[in-house]
């Protein structure tokens, strides 16, 4: 293991690689700070550019963009009251009120240091948990892998907003249906091609990914053209910014609790940092001695908790992606596409066959957060100017970059047509409020699910009983079922309890 670790250190600590990480972090900070330009989009823009790069250079670059973009969302959340990324939604609740009270530098400092500590601790969890989980996954058979795919979709559905679980399942089936297009590897027959030879190889994942995420976001952002955003004036002082580090360390229990929440939620397939951000804020409020002060911009923990959680979920989200080949969130979904682009399939065999690549990911993760911390001290004035750039200048540039990137993958216009077609599908799903992530997961995990199901049925002579009788697959399917059943049950029980408790008005009427 130590040889692989040293090889990873040698690969990352090359001058050009370090420069790539730094530039990736800087670009991610700028893109993440602009409302609407999510970390997923920033990685989507970079993945096609890494096609001609060596994987040892491309992965550190993407890790820099990933870490910078997730963290960069705090700038827009604090200064505009608009989260730069969905992961910073909870930061708006107290970050903006604190900035409005004339403490913008303090709010930025608390958020930055909480982000860096939470992210670094999640990196330690990544290094400790991922190899152990990979060893366990090596003993998995087709029954366990198929059960994991079911569990992934159940996580997305159970964590969806109220009333959207059915829509999440519908979206998953759309993605699974799209994954059937092309050549059936088992029979050698083409499916759902309708006579188009270009469809015989199926849909390429990256144009679909970029289209489903980029075009709906860009079309939505056009509504903001001409709208002037009110940015709070910041008298940035480096000494005051640095002094908030002691304030963050002083809230160690809030910091550790939120980091733990972020890591656990990040590990859940398909959930990601957006949920951890809100959950950590809620837990901080529930455990506070003065919960009435939350939302007023007074308490340090109200900014520390959500930012520590959303950055901690980054390391957690990489764990299932590296060990099982199942992304933890939309951003790691793009990272998964980058690995596949370079001919490497993440999973337990990745640790056995490409251990040096795994350690490059680990070390690049820590280096990216180190650069993130360093750049924040001096680049905050630049990021403040970045969020003031008019959208009519940003949107066309991003659209052109997406189009060129999709074409450059295989040098064929069919990928551009797929990019536009999936973009139109994503925009329709956005209008009817159907989540996009299950579509992507269905498209990517569909071939894996079909292959593992075929193998399981072949080994079991057509019987489905091994799925339930094998301990690991049976346990995973049970957890998937409970994740779907328990939330509605507890919601129904809570509603029933509220109806039974008489209100003060009804008590007075009775008297």
Give residue 509's pLDDT: 52
Percentage of the chain modeled with pLDDT above 70:
85
Q: Is residue 163 scored above 60 in pLDDT?
A: no
Give residue 363's pLDDT: 92
Q: Which domain holds residue 166?
A: 2-489
Give residue 164's pLDDT: 65
Alpha-carbon gap, residue 295 to 98, rounded angstroms? 9
Q: What's the count of helices (H) and strands (E) in the chain, helices before strands? A: 22, 2
Tokens linked to 103: 């403490």
Q: Is residue 225 in a domain? A: yes
CA atoms within 13 A on the CB side of 157: 24
Q: Is residue 274 in a domain? A: yes
Give residue 502's pLDDT: 57
* Placement of tokens 């690991």 in the chain: 472
Residues near 130 by Cβ (< 8 Å), separated by ≥ 6? 318, 319, 322, 323, 351, 358
Q: What string of DSSP letters covers 183-237?
A: E-TTT--EES-TT-GGGGG---HHHHHHHHHHHHHHHHHGGGTTPPP-PPP----
Q: How confident is the model at residue 158 (pLDDT cuts 50, 70, 90)?
A: low
Using only C-alpha atoms, the chain has a radius of gyration, in whole angstroms, of 23
Q: Describe the chain by its helix, strand, coil percentages, rounded to 5.
A: 80, 0, 20
Q: Is residue 505 in a domain? A: no
SS3 at position 69: helix
Query: Cα dist. 13→109, 180, 200 in Å?
Result: 28, 43, 43
Q: Is residue 81 scored above 50 in pLDDT?
A: yes
Q: Is residue 503 in a domain? A: no
Over the stretch 19-58, which tens digit does the pLDDT of each residue have?
Answer: 989 988 888 888 777 765 667 777 877 877 787 788 888 8
Query: Cα dist. 455→91, 143, 173, 452 in Å?
Result: 46, 8, 21, 5
Give residue 511's pLDDT: 47
Q: What is the overall mean pLDDT for the chain?
A: 79
Tokens linked to 293: 């002060």
Decide if 410 contacts 198 (C-beta within 8 A): no
Q: Is residue 314 scored above 80 in pLDDT?
A: yes
Alpha-carbon gap, residue 222 to 359, rounded angstroms? 41
Over the stretch 438-479, which tens digit does the pLDDT of each residue have?
Answer: 787 788 778 778 878 888 888 877 788 888 888 888 888 888
Over the stretch 52-72, which tens digit does the pLDDT of each residue have?
Answer: 788 888 889 888 888 888 888
Nearest one of 165, 265, 229 to 386, comparing CA atoms:
229
Q: Is residue 396 scored above 50 in pLDDT?
A: yes
Query: Cα dist. 55→25, 126, 277, 286, 343 in Å?
Result: 18, 20, 31, 45, 10
Q: Is residue 460 in a domain? A: yes
Decide if 24 contacts 46 (C-beta within 8 A): yes
Q: Is residue 399 scored above 50 in pLDDT?
A: yes
Residue 150 CA, distance from chain mean position: 19
Alpha-carbon gap, residue 70 to 315, rounded angstroms? 12
Give residue 232's pLDDT: 60
Decide if 28 contacts 72 (C-beta within 8 A): yes
* Placement of tokens 């009519």 in the chain: 392
Which of the residue ranges 49-63, 156-170, 380-394, 497-511 would you say has the lowest mean pLDDT? 497-511
The total of structural domains in the chain comes to 1
Over the stretch 173-185, which tens digit does the pLDDT of each residue have?
Answer: 888 888 888 777 6
Q: How confident is the model at residue 388 (pLDDT cuts 50, 70, 90)?
A: low
DSSP lists the bridge partners of residue 191 as 182
Decide if 93 contacts 111 (C-beta within 8 A): no
Over the stretch 112-147, which tens digit does the pLDDT of each residue have?
Answer: 898 888 888 988 988 888 888 777 777 777 888 788
> 507 or 319: whose pLDDT is higher?
319
Decide if 57 contacts 42 (C-beta within 8 A): no
Tokens linked to 214: 């980029």
Give residue 227's pLDDT: 63
Q: Is residue 496 in a domain? A: no
Alpha-carbon gap, residue 117 to 251, rounded angstroms? 12
Q: Is residue 322 in a domain? A: yes
Q: Is residue 467 in a domain? A: yes
Give residue 409's pLDDT: 66
Q: Which H or E element spans position 250? A: helix 238-250
CA atoms within 13 A on the CB side of 355: 11
Alpha-carbon gap, residue 190 to 180, rounded angstroms? 9
The whole-number average pLDDT for the span 421-447 is 82
Alpha-carbon gap, residue 325 to 140, rounded angstroms? 13
Query: Cα dist. 127→61, 79, 420, 476 in Å?
Result: 19, 34, 38, 24
Tokens linked to 403: 């189009």
């Amino acid at each position: 293991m130590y040889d692989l670790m040293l090889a990873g250190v040698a690969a990352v600590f090359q001058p050009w690689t370090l420069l790539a990480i730094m530039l990736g972090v800087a670009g991610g900070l700028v893109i993440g700070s602009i409302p609407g330009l999510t970390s997923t989009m920033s990685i989507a823009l970079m993945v096609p550019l890494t096609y001609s790069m060596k994987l040892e250079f491309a992965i550190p670059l993407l890790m820099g963009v990933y870490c910078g973009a997730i963290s960069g969302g705090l700038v827009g959340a604090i200064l505009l009251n608009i989260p730069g990324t969905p992961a910073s939604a909870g930061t708006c609740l107290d970050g903006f009120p604190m900035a409005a009270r004339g403490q913008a530098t303090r709010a930025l400092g608390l958020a930055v240091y909480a982000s860096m500590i939470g992210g670094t601790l999640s990196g330690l969890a990544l290094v400790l948990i991922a190899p152990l989980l990979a060893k366990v996954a090596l003993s998995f058979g087709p029954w366990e892998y198929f059960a994991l795919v079911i569990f992934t979709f159940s996580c997305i559905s159970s964590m969806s907003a109220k009333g959207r679980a059915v829509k999440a399942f519908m979206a998953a089936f759309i993605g699974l249906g799209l994954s059937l297009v092309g050549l059936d590897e088992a029979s050698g027959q083409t499916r759902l091609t309708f006579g188009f030879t270009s469809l015989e190889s199926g849909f390429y994942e990256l144009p679909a990914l970029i289209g489903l995420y980029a075009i709906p976001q860009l079309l939505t952002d056009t509504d903001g053209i001409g709208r002037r955003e009110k940015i709070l004036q910041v008298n940035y002082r480096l000494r005051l910014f640095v002094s908030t580090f002691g304030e963050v360390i002083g809230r160690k229990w809030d910091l550790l609790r939120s980091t733990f929440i972020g890591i656990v939620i990040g590990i859940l397939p398909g959930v990601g940092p957006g949920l951890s951000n809100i959950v950590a804020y809620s837990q901080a409020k529930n455990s506070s001695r003065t919960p009435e002060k939350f939302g007023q911009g007074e308490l340090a923990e109200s900014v520390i908790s959500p930012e520590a959680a959303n950055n901690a979920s980054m390391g957690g989200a990489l764990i299932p992606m590296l060990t099982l080949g199942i992304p933890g969130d939309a951003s790691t979904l793009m990272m998964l596409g980058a690995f596949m682009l370079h001919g490497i399939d993440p999973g337990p065999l990745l640790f056995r066959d490409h251990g040096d690549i795994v350690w490059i990911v680990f070390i690049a993760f820590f280096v990216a957060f180190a650069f993130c911390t360093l750049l924040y001290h001096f680049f905050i004035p630049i990021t403040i100017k970045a969020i003031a750039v008019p959208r009519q200048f940003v949107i066309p540039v991003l659209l052109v970059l997406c189009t060129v990137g999709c074409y450059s993958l295989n040098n064929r216009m069919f990928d551009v047509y797929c990019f536009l077609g999936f973009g139109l599908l994503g925009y329709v799903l956005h209008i009817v409020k159907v989540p996009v992530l299950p579509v992507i997961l269905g498209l990517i995990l569909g071939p894996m699910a079909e292959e593992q199901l075929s193998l399981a049925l072949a080994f079991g002579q057509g019987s489905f009983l091994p799925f339930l009788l094998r301990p690991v697959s049976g346990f995973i399917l049970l957890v998937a079922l409970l994740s779907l059943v328990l939330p509605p049950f507890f919601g129904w029980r809570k509603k029933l309890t509220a109806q039974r408790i008489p209100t003060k008005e009804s008590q007075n009427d009775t008297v």
